[in-house]
Amino acid sequence: MSSVAIPDGSPFSIHNLPYGVFSVRGDHRRVGVRLGDSVIELATLLGDDEHDTFAVPTLDRFLAQGHERWASVRARITDLLMGDIAPGGVYPVSDVTLHLPFTVGDYVDFYASQHHASNLGRLFRPDSEPLMPNWKHLPVGYHGRSGTVVVSGTDICRPCGQRKTAGDSAPTYGPSQRLDIEAELGFVVGAGSDMGDRINVDDFDRHVFGAVIVNDWSARDLQAWEYVPLGPHLGKSFATSLSPWVVPLAALQHARMPLPVQDPAPLPYLQGHQDWGLDVELVVEWNGEVVSRPPYREMYWSPAQMLAHLTVNGASTRAGDLFASGTVSGPHRRQQGAFIELTWNGSEPITVKGEERTFLQDGDEVVISATAPGPGENRVGFGEVAGVITPAVPR
Ligand code: CA
């Protein structure tokens, strides 16, 4: 048993050990793992030889070291934490500030939920087929803006921009009136790939280090006017929030599950022998009230298929690249990961803390959390990604 106290049923058991970057009362940033309600400083736990990798303000160096190092370090941390450890370098999680854990390289956002893509198709293009003809043949995605990826707890300023509804004779400029969320998982590339190379579905584990929760804040009025024909742009690029703990793939072994049937069969480059989906339960809280429980197990395209597609043209990847799944939505009520779906574009308000609500108001807080099955009765926690909406600053 570990000498670090772990509350019964904690989703941060010895089977999880997610990595993050923390500081204590404004001191230097360094890498730690979470165990129970404690943060363990890795440079202290692992000793002087590991200072170059862990007494640093990001996970970047560790990510780039590759899957064999990830496995050996995890085994060593687990071993050490199962025994008695010295009290130095252990902090209550309530005493630390958590930071963006890695330098975000390229950021791509996919669109891998059939339920979400179908709902958005019905809302944005009511007179045509909900799914576009390409949707079941390739994981649709777009390149997002890595420079505005922020850590949980960062305030989100309501964006301004151009919008035009069907009833308007001309576009107008102003604060978004349809500010929304998208609850997603994000996958963090560790060991990259060279320009010209491809990452096969079955090589996913050699390249991807772990997963985080993503909130892809979305200004639906800006998005609806600007997205034709090149896709999302300013309606998304103002902010994307990440949970601060990166859950290693090794902690998600028990969450692996078969993918839904893919019909028609995807092209060979999107097939593999070791492909899997993930049984992760997300929970969306709006001003402290649970409004949705999106099930990741419903996702049509796998994370490995997303990465295979992302690199099939020879695009390179590097440590810190992030690709997100797209909004996680299930088939049932209260399983949608975006308010545009939950309220059917604002036409069916939901009650939040006794008030009828559609899109986000200034001062609103959204918290998205997630857990997955671990060994036995254990759950593996991702923690949460939180953000508060602050008023627009018109320019
Ligand atoms: Ca998205």
19-99: which CATH architecture?
Roll (2.30)
CA atoms within 13 A on the CB side of 394: 6
Tens of pLDDT, residue by residue over 284-320, are: 999 999 999 999 999 999 999 999 999 999 999 999 9
Tens of pLDDT, residue by residue over 235-246, are: 999 999 999 999
**Residue the block writes with tokens 């599950």:** 257
Q: How far does residue 370's CA lie from ligand 1's centre (Å)? A: 17
Q: How far does residue 204's CA lie from ligand 1's centre (Å)? A: 21
Confidence (pLDDT) at 46: 97
Q: How far does residue 23's CA lie from ligand 1's centre (Å)? A: 30
Tens of pLDDT, residue by residue over 61-112, are: 999 999 999 999 999 999 999 998 888 999 999 999 999 999 999 999 999 9
How many whole angstroms separate alpha carbon 337 and alpha carbon 265?
27
**Paired sense of beta strands 281-286 and 365-373, if any:** antiparallel
* pLDDT reading at 394 higher than 90: no
Q: Is 254 exposed, middle or buried (0-12, 13-18, 19+ CB in 10 A)?
A: middle
Q: How far does residue 224's CA lie from ligand 1's centre (Å)? A: 14
Tens of pLDDT, residue by residue over 118-176, are: 999 999 889 999 999 999 999 999 999 999 999 999 999 999 999 998 899 999 999 99
Tens of pLDDT, residue by residue over 314-344, are: 999 999 999 999 999 999 999 999 999 999 9
Give the start-to-end residue ranges of the domains of the chain: 19-99, 107-390
What strands lie across the sheet with 38-41, from one edge to the other?
90-92, 38-41, 30-35, 19-24, 96-99
Neighbours of ion ligand 1 (CB under 5 A): 109, 182, 216
When pLDDT is averaged across residues 236-263 and rounded to a whole number, the result is: 97
Confidence (pLDDT) at 137: 98
Q: How far does residue 328's CA lie from ligand 1's centre (Å)? A: 9
When pLDDT is averaged across residues 182-190 and rounded to a whole number, the result is: 98
Name the DSSP letter for residue 308: H
pLDDT band at 1 (very low <50, low <70, confident <90, very high): low
Catalytic amino acids?
A: 116
Confidence (pLDDT) at 274: 86
Q: What's this model's pTM, rounded to 2 decimal places?
A: 0.98
Q: What is the mean pLDDT of the chain?
A: 96
Check if the beta carbon of residue 315 is closer than 8 Å to that of residue 94. Answer: no
Check if the beta carbon of residue 387 is closer than 8 Å to that of residue 154. Answer: yes
When pLDDT is averaged across residues 383-394 and rounded to a whole number, the result is: 96
Q: How far does residue 216's CA lie from ligand 1's centre (Å)? A: 5
Its CATH class, for the domain covering 107-390, is alpha beta
When pLDDT is averaged across residues 23-31 and rounded to a whole number, the result is: 97
Q: Is 127 exposed, middle or buried (0-12, 13-18, 19+ CB in 10 A)?
A: exposed
The 3-state secondary structure of 15-79 reads CCCCEEEEEECCCCCEEEEEECCEEEEHHHHHCHHHHHHHCCCCCHHHHHCCHHHHHHHHHHHHH
What's the gap between Cα 42 and its chain centre? 24
